[in-house]
Amino acid sequence: MTLALTNERPFAQGGNRLCFVHPDDHNRCIKVRRPDFTLEDLRRKKGFPKNLLPLSRFDDNREEFEVISALARHPGEVAFEHVSRCFGFEQTDLGAGLVLELVRDADGEISQTLKAHLWFEGYTADCRAAVERFCARWRDLQIPSRDLLLHNILVQKDSSGQISRLVVIDGLGSPNIIPFRCLPASLRQAKVERKLANMQERIEQTLAKKARGENPGNHGMATARPRSTTTQSQG
């Protein structure tokens, strides 16, 4: 059955995808390609020589599905402490949709991004501890990722408002030709360390930007608290 999304309102959007609450399950989301920025548009934007690659190479949903399926095999269940679960594809009237765990706080609200958390609540002791736990686990599990951008990490809170989990929802996988798992352990470790160091830098940059009174931009501010009635944003 084709899911009707055209008349639904996405709860958020990124540069590439629209994110909807799954019409049949409020604990799942479904992500489709943005109709106003197609795979063809994305490939064109990349320029030569990348524009010679097949369209499938630009498809975030396809890559995310493959990467999360591989993580489910190795390291297995533990990966989902910090990565959203993936439930495969469903057909929608906006094209193939990837169904994923919708990260919600214990009060039912959709969790905010780490960027929004830092912006509105600062780098609280609770948040520092959550980042430390995340880094230790990410290091242990050696999860391949691109840059760990703060709008691609969600901050999930428990019923007392404490952070229970940081969850990466985008940017997983390794852009290299040699599969990440085939690299020597020392190189894998070095790559993971670089991504974590880079994430810490982004945290400092975001805090500095806020301190300078600058605008955070739309990216990753969609589900931000204090919440507004408009939920659209760039992710």
The footprint of Mg ion (CB under 5 A) covers: 14, 152, 170, 235
Shortest CB 34 distance to ligand ATP, Å: 7
CA dist 161 and 24 (Å) reads 27
Which helix (DSSP H) or strand (DSSP E) does residue 164 occupy? Answer: strand 163-168
71 or 168: CB nearest Mg ion: 168
The binder of 110, among ligand ATP, Mg ion, none, by C-beta within 5 to 8 A per type, is ligand ATP
Task: Name the token pair of 164.
Answer: 């229970």
Residues of this chain, 158-197, that bind ligand ATP according to CB under 6 A: 169-170
Nearest in space to 124 (alpha carbons), one of 74, 10, 132: 132
Q: With binding defined as CB under 6 A, does residue 105 bind ligand ATP?
A: no
In the chain, the N- to C-terminal Cα span, in Å, equals 28
CA dist 35 and 54 (Å) reads 19
Bridge partners (DSSP) of residue 155 are: 112, 166
68 or 135: CB nearest ligand ATP: 68
Residues of this chain, 10-29, that bind ligand ATP according to CB under 6 A: 12-17, 19, 29
Q: With binding defined as CB under 6 A, does residue 31 bind ligand ATP?
A: yes
The binder of 222, among Mg ion, ligand ATP, none, by C-beta within 5 to 8 A per type, is ligand ATP
Shortest CB 233 distance to ligand ATP, Å: 7
Find all residues with CB under 8 Å of 144, minimum gap 6, and list them.
67, 172, 173, 174, 180, 181, 188, 191, 192
In the block, residue with structure tokens 């959550």: 130
135 or 150: CB nearest ligand ATP: 150
112 or 152: CB nearest Mg ion: 152
Q: With binding defined as CB under 6 A, does residue 153 bind ligand ATP?
A: no
Q: With binding defined as CB under 6 A, does residue 100 bind ligand ATP?
A: yes
Nearest in space to 82 (alpha carbons), one of 26, 153, 180, 185: 153
Residue 34's alpha-carbon distances to 10, 15, 197, 228, 234, in angstroms, are 11, 8, 31, 23, 11
22 or 235: CB nearest Mg ion: 235
**Residue 98 DSSP code:** E
Shortest CB 182 distance to Mg ion, Å: 27
Instruction: Give the residues lining the site for ligand ATP (CB under 6 A).
Output: 12-17, 19, 29, 31, 60, 84, 100-103, 110-111, 113, 151-152, 154, 169-170, 220, 222-223, 235
